[in-house]
Structure 1
Amino acid sequence: MDNNVNTITLTDEEGKETEFDVITKLDIEDKEYVVVVPKDEQVDEAIALRIDNNDNGEEVLVPVEEDKEFNMVAEAYELLFSEE
């Protein structure tokens, strides 16, 4: 995923599209992640997504659901923004 992407549009299981602002992209342990928040919505929580490749080699965004992986991304995010 390009580092200069500011917004992305994701489609849920029901076909509904939602636009998200990309807060940051993180590279952790040879994996790439993006942290996003829904655009134009008042939300206090960000969403962590892992960038994977599907069988065709195309990038896909996968929600980070495993606690250990989520905590690793959250710690990197907090460290990055605590330095600003």
Structure 2
Amino acid sequence: MSEAYGNDFVTLIDEDGNEVEFEHIDTVEYQGTTYLAFIPAELSIEEEAEVVIMQIVSEDGEEMLEAVEDDDIADAVFNMVMERAEAEEDE
């Protein structure tokens, strides 16, 4: 699944209707759902960046990204992404 998305940039619409470009930094599976992590594209990964967690949902057979509303799930996925990033840095 992660190869399909690769390391790429996406434009998301924020709650104010503004287009914001994000960089996809990781894809993780959590409790049977695929989640993608993004950071604002203008920031480097070393900076303190807001990580945006989105989930893949199927609607009418089409995959779409949707914001994760459940804070507990978002936190768990965020922690997985951070652990994986730290493990990569240690290598």
TM-score by length of 2: 0.73
Please report the RMSD computed on the Cα atoms of aligned residues, expressed in angstroms.
2.2
| CA–CA separation in structure 1 for the residues paired with 2:78 and 2:16 | 28
Task: State how many pairs are aligned.
Answer: 83
TM-score by length of 1: 0.78
Aligned partner letter, 1:17: E
Match of 1:77 in 2: 81
| CA–CA separation in structure 1 for the residues paired with 2:29 and 2:49 | 23
Q: Offset of 1:48 from its aligned partner? A: 0.5
Match for residue 65 of structure 2 among 50, 61, 64: 61
- Whichever structure has more helix as a proportion of its residues is 2
Unmatched segments (≥5 aa) in structure 2: none
Q: Offset of 1:76 from its aligned partner? A: 0.9
Unmatched segments (≥5 aa) in structure 1: none
| Identity rate, percent | 28
| CA–CA separation in structure 2 for the residues paired with 1:18 and 1:40 | 10
Q: Which runs of 4+ in 1 moved over 3 A?
A: 11-16
Deviations 1:44-69 (A, max 9, x none): 21111111111x11111111121221
Question: Secondary structure at the residue paired with 1:83?
Answer: helix
| CA–CA separation in structure 2 for the residues paired with 1:21 and 1:77 | 14
Which 10-residue stretch deviates more, 74-83 or 34-43? 34-43
